[in-house]
Structure 1
Amino acid sequence: MNPQTLLQHYDSAAPWPAEHGIAPDLAAAYQSALAVRALRSARGEQPRGYKVGFTNRTIWPRYGIHAPIWGTVWDSTLQFCEGEGQVDLAGTVHPRIEPEIAFGLAATPPAGATLEQLFASIDWLAPSFEVVQSHSAWKFASAAEPVADGGLHARLLVGRRTPVRQLADSGAALDARLAAARLQLFEGERLVDEGLGAHVLDGPLHALLHFVLELQACPGAPVLAAGDVVTTGTWTDAWPIAPGQRWSTRITAPFDTLSLALR
């Protein structure tokens, strides 16, 4: 499928055909995703950051994807809240929910950034929920398919933001704190899943660093900028969702709980 056809499937919430024509060429898939990004920008949508997916190594065998991917987050898909939010699932395809940690950037990380240089570029952290979707019903022949499918991004709800210096005074300290953190995921009062920060490429800060270096190496990719929001991947499996449900997370202090009502 060409970029215009990919965008039409996104807009119409139409599943991809069985013979969709997405070749298993990851570099070409990123170029296709960047072309869709240009089409969306041309019609007035504004990029607000990025999502990083498949950072949780514990779920790689379930999806047949064994390396992280990334995609764009938009002004039309991003919401902020102070602990409780609502997300409309209209127009999504096979939606699922992922509890994550999102970062806000204060500055562009330098080329080939180290963990400490990346830490110096961060403004804030926050618990988040990403609603992901799949136009191929969560069946992937290669990583190129979810990349071409917008990185599987549908919505991003970001909770209360905490300035990074309130959490740690160095990259090493923040990395250790996030890697050791624990998360519980609830649907209503039912405990659905649990996860560790270390599941996410050894910690969300490492996931962010991996993404920064991958973005810098991708031909034609935009430069990460101050104000960008980056969500770093799920701490649990991605769980199917439906309107009328309420989901929440409890994370090791100092992060707040985050609740999400679906409609």
Structure 2
Amino acid sequence: MVDVDLLARRLDDAARDRRTIAKLTDDTSLDVPTAYAVQRAGIERRRVRGERPAGVKMGFTSRAKMAQMGVDDVIWGLLTDAMLAESSVDVSRLVHPRIEPEIAYLIGREVRSVTDVETAVTGVAVGFEVLDSRYRDFSFTLPDVIADNASAARFGFGAWHPPRDVSNVGLLLEIDGRVAQTGSSAAILGDPARSLRAAARLALAAGLTLEPGWIVLAGSATVAVPLPKDAHVRVTAAGLGSVEVTT
């Protein structure tokens, strides 16, 4: 019998203490449903400390990553208001900070079905996610990363724009004025809208609904790159402007 609360506490303590731990699967038999139970228990610990749910982040949204991890579906994690980085990220509070460009969706009303989710969107924006695995050497299995809330750490977004087709938007990630990554939103399952629908599907299956004001991060269009200290980062998306953050 897996002690879900114990595993959630192990991950939560590692994040709060900024230290690495061995993979949970090194000493625990962990399947995907149980890993999501650990994830939810970790979010509940945050909620008890006063954090509020703020949205959903999607992971493994590239076919190459799915193949690498031996899966045929995306994974997801939950965002809280404490993860929002409006202008800066204190990387000294993180273990393995990495950043990636994102397409962000703003949910305008409660989503009751997968077919309902696209019409519930009231805005799209360029965004970023800072990943931070708590596992030693950034090494993990599929259940490990799910339990660790899909490596969610921080996120941000630029100005909101009316809903539009973002199926092939060019994205540029710059660190200190130098190009770190370029890509297209088409790398996100061929169209970020597919990731948006997957977010609704997975949330509903878990007994959650996407709520007004929540953000959905559709997944990265490029690989994540290390986020250094004392850096200026800018993510630009064609037609959506840019978002900047310092460390």
Q: TM-score, normalised by structure 1?
A: 0.84
**Match for residue 259 of structure 1 among 229, 244, 247:** 244
User: Which whole-Å deviations, capped at 9, do the CAs of 1:79-123 have from their partners, x for residues lacking one?
Assistant: 34xxxx222213211110010011111112222x22xx3221111
What count of residue pairs does the alignment treat as equivalent? 240
Are residues 1:155 and 2:154 paired?
A: yes
Deviation (angstroms), 1:41: 0.9
Question: In the alignment, which residue of structure 1 is the partner of 2:48?
Answer: 42
Are residues 1:129 and 2:99 paired?
A: no
Q: Specify the code of the residue in structure 1 equivalent to 2:217.
A: T
Secondary structure, counterpart of 1:216 in structure 2: helix
Q: Specify the code of the residue in structure 1 equivalent to 2:54.
A: R
Structure 2: distance between partners of 1:18 and 1:210: 27
**Is contact 1:22–1:145 with CA below 8 Å preserved after alignment?**
no
Deviation (angstroms), 1:30: 0.4
Question: In the alignment, which residue of structure 2 is the partner of 1:101?
Answer: 103
Are residues 1:206 and 2:212 paired?
A: no
Change (3 A) 1:86 1:139: same
Deviation (angstroms), 1:43: 2.0
User: Which whole-Å deviations, capped at 9, do the CAs of 1:28-63 have from their partners, x for residues lacking one?
Assistant: 100111111112111211111111112122444566
Structure 2: distance between partners of 1:90 and 1:41: 23
Deviation (angstroms), 1:22: 4.8
**Is contact 1:63–1:138 with CA below 8 Å preserved after alignment?**
no
Question: In the alignment, which residue of structure 1 is the partner of 2:85?
Answer: 79
Change (3 A) 1:222 1:187: same
User: Which whole-Å deviations, capped at 9, do the CAs of 1:178-236 have from their partners, x for residues lacking one?
Assistant: 12211122222322221111110111111110111011112xx4322111111111111
Question: In the alignment, which residue of structure 1 is the partner of 2:3?
Answer: none
Are residues 1:13 and 2:18 paired?
A: yes
Q: What do you get for the CA RMSD once the two structures are aligned?
A: 1.9
Are residues 1:183 and 2:183 paired?
A: no
After superposition, where does 1:155-174 map in structure 2 within 5 Å? 155-164=154-163, 167=164, 174=165
Structure 1: distance between partners of 2:76 and 2:211: 16
Structure 2: distance between partners of 1:10 and 1:135: 6
Q: Which runs of 5+ in 2 are unaligned?
A: 1-5
Q: Specify the code of the residue in structure 2 equivalent to 1:28.
A: T
Question: In the alignment, which residue of structure 2 is the partner of 1:138?
Answer: 138
Question: In the alignment, which residue of structure 2 is the partner of 1:228?
Answer: 214
Segments ≥4 residues shifted beyond 6 Å: none
Secondary structure, counterpart of 1:237 in structure 2: coil
**Is contact 2:95–2:132 with CA below 8 Å preserved after alignment?**
yes
Structure 2: distance between partners of 1:152 and 1:44: 20
**Match for residue 34 of structure 2 among 28, 43, 53:** 28
User: Which whole-Å deviations, capped at 9, do the CAs of 1:137-188 have from their partners, x for residues lacking one?
Assistant: 32223x1111111210110111111132xx3xxxxxx2xxx12211122222
Secondary structure, counterpart of 1:87 in structure 2: coil
Secondary structure, counterpart of 1:110 in structure 2: coil
Change (3 A) 1:22 1:90: farther
Q: Which runs of 5+ in 1 are unaligned?
A: 168-173
Q: Specify the code of the residue in structure 2 equivalent to 1:203.
A: D
Secondary structure, counterpart of 1:180 in structure 2: coil
Q: TM-score, normalised by structure 2?
A: 0.89
Q: Specify the code of the residue in structure 2 equivalent to 1:180.
A: N
Deviation (angstroms), 1:13: 1.4
Secondary structure, counterpart of 1:163 in structure 2: coil
Deviation (angstroms), 1:64: 6.2
**Is contact 1:51–1:72 with CA below 8 Å preserved after alignment?**
yes
